[in-house]
Every structure is written in C-alpha cells, then in structure tokens.
Amino acid sequence: MIITSNGHQTLVAILEDDQVMEVSVERERQRGVVGNIYKGRVSKVLPGMQSAFVDIGLDRDGFLYVSDVVDTMEAFERLGVDAEDGDEVAREVGGGDQGKGRERGETPKIETLLKQGQEILVQVVKEPLGTKGARLTSHATMAGRFLVFMPTVDHIGVSRKIDSRDERSRLRGIVKQFREKEGFSGGVIIRTAAAGRPQEDLTNDLVYFQRIWGDIRQRVDSSRCPAVVYREQGLVSKLVRDMLTDEYSAIRVDDPSEFQNVKEQVQSFMPALAGRVKHYTKDFPIFEEYGVQSEIDKALRSKVWLKSGGYIVINQTEALVAIDVNTGRFVGKRNDRLEDTIVKTNVEAVKEIVRQVRLRDLGGIIVLDFIDMEERKNRQKVALALDQELRRDRSPSKAVQVSDFGLIIITRKRVKQSLERVMTDPCPYCSGTGVIKSAATICYEILDEVRKIGGQLDGPGLVLRVNPEIAKALREEEAPVLRELQDTLGKTVSIKPDLHLHHEQFDVMAM
C-alpha cells in the first residue's frame, strides 16, 4: 500500500506482485459522501417508481427506493463487509417481520411509508454519479475493524468465512454479553477479521459504536434539516481498517502526519504489522519511485498495449464501458495457426482487462469484445481465465458470455466515480468528446514538480508559465497551492499565463 498526501489530495495505490492494481483518490474540497449519515427531508414521493427523493443538502436530492426503507437485505457489502458474507448476514437479520414480509411478497407501498416534508435519517450507499443523485438507505451501518453495527435491526450475524462452530459461538457470546451488560441495542455483524481475536478487540468496537450512535442521536435532535450527523472516516483510515491483512508486506507513507496516523491505527488492531509501516523520506515523489504515476497516466488514456504487441481500447460512456481487444502488432509464432494467435492475445488481454477495470474503478455494465474464436473450447478457455482473474477483485462482479463471437458482459458494483471521472474534465479542445487532466490535477502536479526540482533553482523567485485556465485556478480555488509553493521555496512565485501552452503543459523557471 503506497500512500501520498500533500494537504490538498490523498492518493492510495495497492500493488500486487509489484503491479499497480488499484488507485483511490480523495480531495479535501471534493470528499466522498458514501457512508455519511444525514438528517434529510423527503422532497418528493414517487408512487409510480416506488421511490422518493430526499434533500440531504447536496447539489442534487438523494434517491431512496422502497426496498431501502423497509428491507435490510442490501446494506451489508458496504463499508468493508465481505461481499460473500452478505447473503448469510441477510439470513441472520431476516427473521423479523421485515424478513417475513419479503417472503410473502408484502412489500409496503412507498406512499404509506413516507410523506413529502417528512424528516428521515438516511445513509449514502452510492456516490452521486453523472446526473444522478446519491443512492440512499434508511438502514444505516457503521464499520469497525472487527464488527459492523446496524442500529435499525436487533440481530447478531457472523461471517460465513468463520467456519468453526466453537469460534462462531464464542464471538456471538462476547457480543451478547456486552449487549446485556451495557443495555446496547442494535444489530451487529461479526466480520471475518474477528476470528481468533480477544474479547477486548470486539468490546472496543462495541464501545465505539455505542458512543458514535449516541453522538448521532444528539445531533439529530439538535440539527435542522438538512444536516450531516455522521461523517465516514477519511480514505486512508477506511482502507487500512477494511483492507489490511497479513498479505500486505509493506505500507509506505510520504506525509509525516498521515504516517503517524497509519502507524497508530495499525498498532492498535494489528500490532504485528506495525513494523511494515514506513515513512518515505526521499525527495523523489513516492508515486514515481514505485511506478504508480506512470500507471495513472496510462489509465487516463483509452489505448493500453499488451506485452505481445496486441492492445485493448477502453471507452467509457454514460450507459456502459466498452473494451475492445485487438491483435495489433502480434502475429504469433511461425508455426502458429491464426486461431492460436487469437487465443493467446485474448488470454493475455484478460489479465490486463481485469487490472484496468480495478485500476480505473470501472463499474456498472462492462462489455468485452474479444477477438472472434471459432472453436468452442477456446471461448470457454478465455471465459474461465476471466472468471479466475475476477476472483481477485474486491468489488462484487459477474461475467456472462452472451455470444459465440467473443462478446462477454461483466456487471461490477459501482459505488463511486471512476478514476477518469475524478481526475479529468471534458476536453475543451474537442467539444467534450475527449478528456484532459483537471485544473486541480495540474496544480498538484506543479506542486510535486517544484518540490522535486526546487533545490536546483537559483535566483530570488520562481516563474510558472501555464495555460490561462491553470493560472486562474492557482489564483482562485487552488490559491492554497500557490501559497504552499511560496512557503516551501521561501521565494516569490510569479504566474505567467500563456495562451500557446496546452492545458496540461507548464514550465518552471528561475526568476
């Protein structure tokens, strides 16, 4: 896990076998809202769609389906619960009236549950995407390291990955004992990470939930709609909490404050791994040191070359993602049949496709157009290779072969914006048909570049020659970056707009 932070944005990269597999971005001015709990107001009830719009104080109203009002089956994969645990947890909590109602098909109508103007407590389960508002649920969940708290139900579930009957019983007993002793109400999911952990670890999570839920209830009573009453942890804390296992050989952090936070967090729940957390102190940017930045740059382009000489083309649209596989320069070995060359290209493409899907955080419907294969066994070979690669993906996904011509459709859970949507803006040079890096991204790259070469620049000041749009950003919304540049160098920084410079180009010169 490689973590870089400059005070304006934080990026986390996950490397597997020295390959960059995932990148997550969080910006201070554009923090995600998944996991946040709001005191909202129903702005419109739609009986025909069995849903409602809820004003939670964001740019667009959130969207609440009737199933998210009366059903507890959906909210279990969020906030760190293993995807395969969801069905079992649903069975654990489905024994009440709501569960029986589902079996009888007696789902209440939305208009009997919600009225316009009604105040309601909701949690965001999916970021606003494109023109769509946030997806909401009224059944909140809060994740700890070993447990997940569900204040709207009253059951205890255990991850099915914990297969020892004695261990399941022991963990249930710890939670039940605390509930009875402390008068603690609400449901609890015991996560896979809880297996073998001492009673103190689980109790710490329960005490944390009890305090947080008490704080939320106070804020609900004292806040006016719309208001956020609980904010999910930041990106780094959330990823360390939900992802860290013995499989991680190293965690590298370049920011001193973030390093201290990660060190303390790991020390508190996995002390054996604390020695793997190291502070990166080199002047060379950490993402360049580990080859992450070049992979991000490639992930913002549509074409990806394969080692054999073939390539894949990735295009995101509003409705779906299309990925096309081509042989390119790969012509196979001298004695290979055409079919053999095609199969080799397709199998090689499978690994890169899944890596790019994870790296770019693509979701929804993904259509894969492999090169046509005539033999059925070869089509099955490619489909099997795809299934095996998808098992390494944390996000729930499913692949379906829909034609004999190499077409496969993947559905992958989408919770937040893809990497491209986060780091780029529609390109003004081609009327929005392509993308370029956003002004914020360029400003942060300037900051990193100046930090890298600042010691080599002589003179009383610094001149930044940039595109006028970047100059405007540095003087307005990204003014803190300009101040930080001046503080870092101890020199005056002058901005020189240049219409002839491409949006993404900049020059750093000594004055």
8-state DSSP, 402: -
pLDDT at 106: 66
CATH fold for the domain made of 438-510: Hypothetical Protein Ychn; Chain: A, (3.40.1260)
Q: 34-233 with 438-510: one CATH topology? A: no
Do 207 and 194 form a contact (C-beta atoms < 8 A)?
Answer: no
- DSSP letter for each residue of 130-152: TTB--EEESS--EE-SSEEEETT
Mean pLDDT computed over every residue of the chain? 86
The share of the chain scoring above pLDDT 90, in percent, equals 53
Cis peptide before 271 (omega within 30 of 0): no
Rounded to whole angstroms, the Cα distance separating 18 from 21 reads 9
Domain range summary for the chain, segments of one domain joined by +: 2-29+251-293, 34-233, 300-412, 438-510
Looking at the predicted structure, is the pLDDT value of residue 268 above 50?
Answer: yes
Mapping DSSP to helix (H, G, I), strand (E, B) and coil, where does residue 167 land?
helix
User: Across 250-363, where does the E strand assignment appear?
Assistant: 251-253, 277-279, 303-305, 311-316, 320-326
CA nearest to 149, candidates 100, 97, 215, 84: 215
Rounded to whole angstroms, the Cα distance separating 299 from 485 reads 28
CA angle 143, 160, 153 (to 5 degrees): 50
Question: For 34-233, which CATH class?
Answer: mainly beta
* Average pLDDT of the segment spanning 54-68: 92
Rounded to whole angstroms, the Cα distance separating 287 from 294 reads 8
Q: What is the pTM of this model?
A: 0.78
Element (H, E) at 87: helix 86-93
Most confident of the following: 38-42, 96-100, 184-188, 192-196: 38-42
pLDDT level of residue 332 (50, 70, 90 thresholds): low
8-state DSSP, 129: B
pLDDT level of residue 176 (50, 70, 90 thresholds): very high
Cα 50 from chain centre: 28
Cα 253 from chain centre: 19
